[in-house]
Amino acid sequence: MTFRKALLAATVLALPVAAQAQPVTGLYVGAGAGVNFRDDADGNYSRSTISTLGLPGTTVGGKATAITEPGWAAVASIGWGFGNGLRAEVEGNYRTNDVRKYKVPGIVGTAGSGYLENYAAMVNVLYDFNFGWPVVPYIGAGVGYGWNQIRKGARIGFPSTQTEGELAYQGIAGIAYQLTPNLAFTLEGRYYGTTDPSFKDASRVTPTVSQRVNWKPSNDNYSALVGIRYAFYSPAPPPAAPVVAPVAPPAAARTYLVFFDWDRADLTARAREIITEAAQNSRRVSSTRIEVAGHADRSGTPQYNQRLSQRRADNVAAELVRQGISRNEITVTAYGESRPLVPTADGVREPQNRRVEIVLR
């Protein structure tokens, strides 16, 4: 009795543990079978005889015990996994054990082929511990209604076959090994018990003598089961991280330099060649913007050089348009002498500063 209470307490208290990853999601079915060990069934016993002829009867009382052989057990269930570690299921089970020997007040005998049997309908709550191992441990507890039966009772010191229904309860501890995404192999141990049944029977011993028997035995069972569990829904694996194509760096801007003679804004033959090359490349690289910037050296006044750089930039832009470039794609800016390519003192004529820069973007 102490072991039974400890097992039930451990399984019930462990159920609220924080949820782990859940190997079972949605509807599933399971089945298992194995060996069942039943503790000696002992309890209060009384047997009375009553004479219909008015003769005095007799009453024998005390404790009766049925000692059983290892038997077998089978279970079948249908349940639902909630995806957070918890499962709930409805189960039907059956257990049977041969009675090897019985002790009844006034009688000690060896059983012929009598049986003590259990069958029940249970509701179980279970919890799966997914630690990332190849196997998933689980625990559970269940309650329901069970039927206790003495079959072929006359052979084990009881007049006839008797069946009594009682409150049933159980504790479960097991492991599951995933064979496929849907199918798992299970191995588990169970304690199953009921409140003590009260078997009562009345029979006629002789035409003039009747007998009444009352026995209230204990009912504690320990089972080792192997089984399978099939889940109808297999969770999809987490999506793979999307492959992000590397972003190509923006193309470097291409710059073309057009140089001018001193104090001049007209285009030389070489200048036109450079502008033609810039126009052709702008189509090839699909540029979206063409920047044209005019510059001057420091040989004149800043005001004059500002106007001169503007004329130079306008002439280059006009040649680009003549080469087929839309004017809307061209931005024209004049910087005068403010941005020299080669820094000089004021009044110095520097050929590299007399220029227009064409930038393709």
The CATH number assigned to the domain holding 259 equals 3.30.1330.60
Token pair of 34 as six digits? 């194995």
For position 17, what pLDDT does the model report? 38
- How far apart are alpha carbons 99 and 112 in whole angstroms? 8
User: Which residues does residue 103 pair with via DSSP β-bridges, in sequence order?
Assistant: 65, 108
For position 21, what pLDDT does the model report? 41
pLDDT beneath 50, residues of the chain? 1, 7, 10-21
For position 14, what pLDDT does the model report? 41
For position 145, what pLDDT does the model report? 97
Q: Are residues 198 and 332 in the same domain?
A: no
pLDDT tens-digit series, residues 255-294: 899 999 998 999 899 999 999 998 888 888 777 788 999 9
**Total count of domains within the chain:** 2
Q: Are residues 220 and 304 in the same domain?
A: no
For position 209, what pLDDT does the model report? 75
Q: Are residues 165 and 211 in the same domain?
A: yes
- How far apart are alpha carbons 201 and 159 in whole angstroms? 7
Residues 136, 139, 145, 150, Cα dihedral to 10° = 90
* Residues of the domain holding 227: 2-231
For position 19, what pLDDT does the model report? 33
Token pair of 318 as six digits? 């006009």
User: Which residues does residue 141 pair with via DSSP β-bridges, in sequence order?
Assistant: 125, 171
Single out the residue of 323, 320, 324, 251 nearest to residue 285, CA to CA.
251
Determine the residue type at 359: V
Task: Count the neighbouring beta carbons within 10 Å of the beta carbon of residue 57.
Answer: 12
Single out the residue of 212, 319, 310 nearest to residue 267, CA to CA.
319
Say if CB 150 and CB 199 are below 8 A apart.
yes
For position 119, what pLDDT does the model report? 96
